[in-house]
Amino acid sequence: MNIMNKSFSINAAVNIPAIGFGTYLITKDDVAAAVRSAIGVGYRHMDTAAVYDNEAGVGEGIRAGIKDNGLSRDDIFVTTKLWPGASEWGETAKTEVQTLAECEMSLKRLGLDYVDLYLIHSPHGGSQRVNQWRALVKLKQAGKVRSIGVSNFTEAHIEEIRAAGLPMPEANQIELHPWSQKPQLIAYMKQHGIAPIAYSSLAPLSTWRTGQDSAKPEDLKAGDNFFAVLAAKYGVTEAQLLLRWGIQNGYAVLPKSLNPVRMRQNLELDGFAIDDADMEAIIKMDRGGGIAWSMGDPTKVI
């Protein structure tokens, strides 16, 4: 099957494309053109967030991409995220009512009537976390969002929702790549029918986020040439190998690139499959916690 047409189920009515376009760290000046190009080369999922401060440009790029390519709104899957408010950073957590209003503001900035997936961006909402989730359940009932989920939530955070007797999240967007495989969290999500969505799939690359504020520290750049050797064996790039690993595990992936060659390359994941022995070998590359966002102790509720 052509991976560009492949998708994973989020709920009975909603499928998420296997490959999406990430927009974190793409500025509001660059993002409309980037999203338009991404749709032009075949991306059908755009991932943004209120805190990325680029939703208006993402919406502009979607409208242009739809027009250029004779598409309709429902051909594009759009994810955005509630910034929950983090007391750790001097912010106040959003209440249920504020969460409902935040979603309306995101829709307005995007210029859309609905999004396909709305996520609570992180568990930083503390005592408001369950109230924020209550708001997402209402937003889905009201048809403002087609599916709802969380991001960076651990088992303990999700258990709070279960204990409150609320519908469970349909997806959890987390940092997932061979260096951070989170087997316990993935098993828990599988048990509860929560779709994994992988972010920062390319984090093991030595050049990951080069030139950006959050580039990797030197000690994480060093390493063996495990992925380079494996990529050469399959005749693909390391980035393609890492993305294919995610999809073979059943994770939707969200590569971000502003480089036209890499933007296309990240969609070209057909024509090879990582064999079982190599998938087994990759399991041994797990280093535990993530790089992009440390999730800390999975049993600890922030």
Ligand X SMILES: NC(=O)c1ccc[n+]([C@@H]2O[C@H](COP(=O)([O-])OP(=O)(O)OC[C@H]3O[C@@H](n4cnc5c(N)ncnc54)[C@H](OP(=O)(O)O)[C@@H]3O)[C@@H](O)[C@H]2O)c1
Site string for ligand X, 267-296 (x = CB under 6 A): -------------------------xx---
Q: Given candidates 209, 244, 267, 269, which one binds ligand X under the rule CB under 6 A?
A: 209
Among 3, 120, 257, 291, binds ligand X (CB under 6 A): 257
Amino acid letter, 172 = N
For the question of residue 52 being annotated catalytic, the response is yes
Residue 141 or 214 with smaller CB distance to ligand X: 214
Which ranges of the chain does DSSP label H, i.e. alpha helix? 31-41, 55-68, 96-110, 129-141, 155-163, 183-191, 218-221, 226-234, 238-248, 260-265, 276-283
**Beta-sheet pairing, 148-151 with 171-175:** parallel
Looking at residues 52 to 111 of the shown chain, list those that interact with ligand X (rule: CB under 6 A): none
- In one-letter notation, the amino acid at residue 140 is K
Question: Interaction with ligand X in 15-44: which residues (CB under 6 A)?
Answer: 22-24
| Site mask for ligand X (CB under 6 A), range 172-201, x = bound | -x-------------------------xxx
> Which of residues 31, 205, 231, 274 is near ligand X by CB under 6 A?
205
Distance set, CA 289 to CA 152, 169, 217, 232 (Å): 12, 22, 15, 27
Choice among 24, 52, 114, 251 that is catalytic: 52
Q: In the 3-class helix/strand/coil scheme, how is 195-207 assigned residue by residue? A: EEEEECCCCCCCC
What's the closest the beta carbon of residue 70 comes to ligand X, in angstroms?
A: 26
Contact footprint for ligand X (CB under 6 A):
22-24, 47, 121, 151-152, 173, 199-203, 205, 207-210, 237, 239, 254-259, 262, 265-266, 292-293
Residues designated as active site: 52
